[in-house]
Amino acid sequence: RDVGRRLAQWGLGKSYGRKLVPDGPHYSHYAGESGTIRVFFTDVGKGLVTKGGKGAKGAVATCVVAGADRKFVPAQARVEGDTLVVSAPDVPAPRAVRYAWSDNPAGCNLYNADGLPASPFRTDAWEGRKIFRPYSPHALPHSRLPTLTHSRTHALTHSPL
């Protein structure tokens, strides 16, 4: 039901021009402040809110922050108006923030006041871990592509069932 409502709201806002927020908050940009990073969003509607029982009221879960060393640590994040203010005691000069940036993150609680969840985001463009990609013949150089010899194709097409 929730997915259907979200899709209908998106369609009514985008295709039919209805005056409603079509989507949840999306990362726009950030600004470094004294020991914190302030994150700005689009599609905030009537404002940002937190939902659920995880964290203190107004505290945003699943945020991590990193300094120049690029080592991410759990962050303290709170909603201030239409922005998110992120910091960590172990990172005196934060350079990057990530929200819900893991495989199947649990406890995501950042929403707009219209009840639509924020999309996962990252403020950095640092290279991360390598992601496994299934075999694709387009991903390998032609010299490394497996080839079928006549005996292999004959066995594949003329083998008894």
91 touches 65 (CB < 8 A):
yes
pTM: 0.71
Measured CA to CA, the distance from residue 27 to residue 41 in angstroms comes to 5
Can you spell out the DSSP letters for 92-137? Answer: SS--EEEES-SSS-S---EEETTSPBPPPEES-----PPPP----T
Predicted confidence at residue 133, as pLDDT, reads 47
Q: Which of these, 76, 55, 56, lies nearest to 65 by C-alpha position?
A: 76
Q: Give the per-residue pLDDT at 1.
A: 62
pLDDT tens for the chain, 161 residues: list them: 677 877 887 788 778 877 777 788 999 999 999 999 999 999 898 899 998 755 456 789 999 999 999 999 999 999 998 999 999 999 999 999 999 998 888 889 999 988 889 999 999 998 865 544 454 444 444 444 454 455 444 444 554 55
pLDDT at res. 62: 93
